[in-house]
Amino acid sequence: MALAAAAPDEICGLLFGQSDRIEAMCRAANVAPDPARHFELDPSVLIAAHRAARAGGPQVIGHYHSHPSGVARPSVTDAACASPDGSLWLIVGGGEARLWIAQPDDGMENEPGNELAVRFVEAMLDIR
DSSP letters spanning 73-106? S--HHHHHH--SS--EEEEEETTEEEEEEEEE-T
For residues 19 and 59, what is the distance between their CA atoms, to the nearest angstrom?
Answer: 9
pTM value? 0.87
Contacts of 96 (CB under 8 A, 6+ apart): 1, 72
Q: What is the CATH class of 2-123?
A: alpha beta
Give the dihedral sign, CA 94/99/104/107: negative
Q: Where are the domains of the chain?
A: 2-123
Per residue in 58-110, pLDDT (tens digit) is: 999 999 999 998 899 999 999 999 999 999 999 999 999 999 999 998 765 54
